[in-house]
Structure 1
Amino acid sequence: MKRRRFFQYAGLGSVGFLVAAHDRAFAIAPGKLEGQQLGNLKTFAFDVTTIDRTGRIKQRQKHIAKFLSESLDGATALEMVAIEPGQFLMGAVPTETDARGVEFPRHRVKLSPFLMSKYPITQAQWSAVAALPRVNRELDPTPSYFQGHNLPVENISWLDAVEFCDRLSHSTNRHYQLPSESQWEYACRAGTKTPFHVGETISSQFADYVGTYTYKAEHSGTYRQSTTPVGSFSANAFGLYDMHGNVWEWCADSWHANYRGAPNHGQAWTRNQRSQLRTVRGGGWLDTPNRIRSASRSGYLETALNRTIGFRVVVA
């Protein structure tokens, strides 16, 4: 059994909390979107769906968003959606079903504009960047358990994801990085205050998770037992896909067991890091609906591999 596969199956199942014994300090340098050459942003149109607590569609609306298309190898592109500046209340609403202590206290965060990848990083995108010159560590060009060019890359560590960002930054002269937790949740919510960006509940028609479990009054749905091609479900109001389910997504932040003392301007929270735990968001294909809520969060070892964890990137 390959070493990567061993670590993956050692943590078999959905993402849970791990304990680390090392003390480390990692600094994430902030980017400055204003100083980066973005060129002319293009626009794309998409539908945004909202549902009621029974899972029935309430509304479909047309939206338009701006994006930057980054060429990775001449054949593979990375689409980065422009996210407008704003502020929001981060964390779970106190009355939210299945809210957990790690999602409190709810606090207001103000964010500057940034770009975020429209989808989780795909295996085609990963392979293209893995072929670029090494910065700090080697990258396996085909690490994923579920194979497919348009499937999200998974079975990669936080350190691997950071190396991806570093290589991409060197290649493009733009500052690519992992999103902060607050950037991630702001982008996921896209102006909503409900547990999911589609509404009070979710169904397997709108995300990849263990759809045989229900969250509110919706009918049970499909459990696909694997990742799905990115963009298989409807986007949120910002034009981002797969923010709920499919794969958990690495964030830049160190893991903190609650939000006491959290920053309120969108930066990654790395101060006072005392372990190798990093934050993951969004839930995955192996999770029940309560774990894929906008506020749901967990911690995982930065060196560990799991077939439910991928990532997306930002330019800030």
Structure 2
Amino acid sequence: MNIKTGIYGKNNNSAGKRKSPSILNEIRPKSSVENMIENPVHASNPVTLVRNSIGMEFILVPAGDFEMGSPSNEKRRKLWESPVHRVTIKKPFYLGRYPVTQEQWSKVMGNNPSYFRGEKRPVETVSWEDVQVFIQKLNTLEKTSEESSAYRLPTEAEWEYAARAGTTGSYFFGDDESKLKEYAWFLENSGLETHPAGLKKPNPWGFYDICGNVGEWVQDEYHISYKGAPSDGRAWESLFPSVSVPVRIRRGGGWNGNAGCCRSAERLFAAQDKKLNSLGFRVVKEL
């Protein structure tokens, strides 16, 4: 089956071709490698985006508060998604509109480790450690300073805040699992492989593939529950500082996960040196 690319090509959930982005008025001076671009297709609310020198697009996420985790009556919940706790995201930030693609990874790293090949598909089979190298090289490429690197992994709280997009249900579209196929590639519709980013509908803030397709590494180490979790949205680390290979959180389900793995509160984990063909990432661009 010939699937058109989702980022720059045809969207198979809407008729016709997607409109070409147009340049918007700047809210600050424009550099040669960064442009403001049009609101994403399907997004229910206006959003602000920027694009960097290798074509990565980022959505501005506002500061705010949310309830992180899942209540005891949520279907398919896990014990380590509790207790539900209030988190305040104090500073706005940009988050990748899509997971990082194989094309973007190759531009920075000069290789493609992915099992399922395709330039517009999410990069996968990358460890958390590999992602740190990518981010370091991306910051060098974009000429950011070491004192305040512009790019990094999202924290677990930032990821869930952006995934929920102001909603409180099991999914950002509500609690009805039957609607999931409109938004995500998962076990029931993926054909046991990844797909080009952006073919499904985005969440209310304009993020594509925030659930399904590939899971996504975040910065935090795994903790068995949210007891003692930071309330300010920062990364939660150093539970076992003496462990040689820390365990990190992965979010968002994937092509091989069931519907429950695509819930906004779902959290899984893997050793930070683990490489899986169902696990990729998206990045934060700091203001």
The question of a shared fold, defined as TM-score above 0.5 by the shorter chain, is answered with: yes
Mapped to 2, the partners of 1:249 and 1:45 lie a distance apart of 21
**Structure-2 residue corresponding to 1:182:** 157
- Deviation per CA, 1:197-251: give whole Å up to 9, x if none: 121133323210012xxxxxxxxxx342100110011111111110111101000
Matched, 1:92 2:47: no
Preserved contact between residue 43 and residue 64 of structure 1 (Cα < 8 Å): no
Matched, 1:205 2:200: no
**Structure-2 residue corresponding to 1:129:** 108
Preserved contact between residue 34 and residue 52 of structure 2 (Cα < 8 Å): no
For residue 40 of structure 1, report the CA deviation from its aligned partner.
6.3
The structure 1 segments of at least 4 consecutive aligned residues displaced by more than 3 Å after TM superposition are: 37-43
For residue 43 of structure 1, report the CA deviation from its aligned partner.
3.6
For residue 164 of structure 1, report the CA deviation from its aligned partner.
0.8
For residue 39 of structure 1, report the CA deviation from its aligned partner.
6.6
Tell me the TM-score normalized by structure 2: 0.81
Question: What is the root-mean-square deviation in Å for CA atoms of aligned residues?
Answer: 1.8
**Structure-2 residue corresponding to 1:44:** 39
Mapped to 1, the partners of 2:228 and 2:238 lie a distance apart of 10
Preserved contact between residue 254 and residue 273 of structure 1 (Cα < 8 Å): no
**Structure-2 residue corresponding to 1:103:** 81
**Structure-2 residue corresponding to 1:113:** 92
For residue 271 of structure 1, report the CA deviation from its aligned partner.
3.3
Tell me the TM-score normalized by structure 1: 0.74
Mapped to 2, the partners of 1:168 and 1:226 lie a distance apart of 27
**Structure-2 residue corresponding to 1:294:** 264
**Structure-2 residue corresponding to 1:20:** none
The residue type paired with residue 261 of structure 1 is: G
Give 1 or 2: higher strand fraction: 1
**Structure-1 residue corresponding to 2:48:** 66
**Structure-2 residue corresponding to 1:261:** 228
For residue 98 of structure 1, report the CA deviation from its aligned partner.
1.4
- Determine which structure has greater relative contact order: mean sequence separation of CA pairs < 8 Å that are 6+ residues apart, divided by chain length: 1
For residue 66 of structure 1, report the CA deviation from its aligned partner.
0.6
1:245–1:148: structure 2 CA closer, same or farther, 3 Å change rule? same
Mapped to 2, the partners of 1:267 and 1:231 lie a distance apart of 28
Preserved contact between residue 44 and residue 66 of structure 1 (Cα < 8 Å): yes
List gaps (5 residues or longer) in structure 2: 1-30
